[in-house]
Amino acid sequence: MQKFTSEDIKINRIWAAISYVWIISLVVLLAKKDSAFAQAHARQGFVLFVVSLIASFLPVLGWLLNIVVWGVAIVALIRAARGEFWKIPGVATLAEKISF
């Protein structure tokens, strides 16, 4: 489990939360390199963004997958705004491999 300082969480929880708003995850990845908390959320947000993009090209299954992705993103956004880190199953594994 990742450890974040309380100061990092306090200062960057809003950045972490908005990183779940699709393309904004890239902005957070590039702008908040000094925050482990924001980076962890932005990586997960980026993975969700990519999954959503891919799902957009699939007919019915893609539509359903996008609904799930949006639901997960909303829950993650709320948790990040509260200063929590939710290691999203499946997504977190991919997110940990991302480096900018």
**For position 1, what pLDDT does the model report?**
53
pLDDT above 70 for 66 = yes
Can you tell me the mean pLDDT for 59-66? 91
Taking only the tens place, the pLDDT of each residue in 25-55 is 999 999 999 999 999 999 999 999 999 999 9
Q: How many other β-carbons are positioned within 10 Å of the β-carbon of residue 21?
A: 14
When pLDDT is averaged across residues 84-89 and rounded to a whole number, the result is 95
* Size of the chain, expressed as the number of residues it contains: 100
Which residue type sits at 17?
Answer: A
Of 8, 14, 2, whose CA–CA distance to 79 is shortest?
14
- pLDDT tens for 68-80 read 999 999 999 999 9
pTM: 0.90
Mean pLDDT of the region 76-99: 94
pLDDT, mean over the chain: 93
Contact between residue 96 and residue 43 where contact means Cβ atoms under 8 Å apart: yes
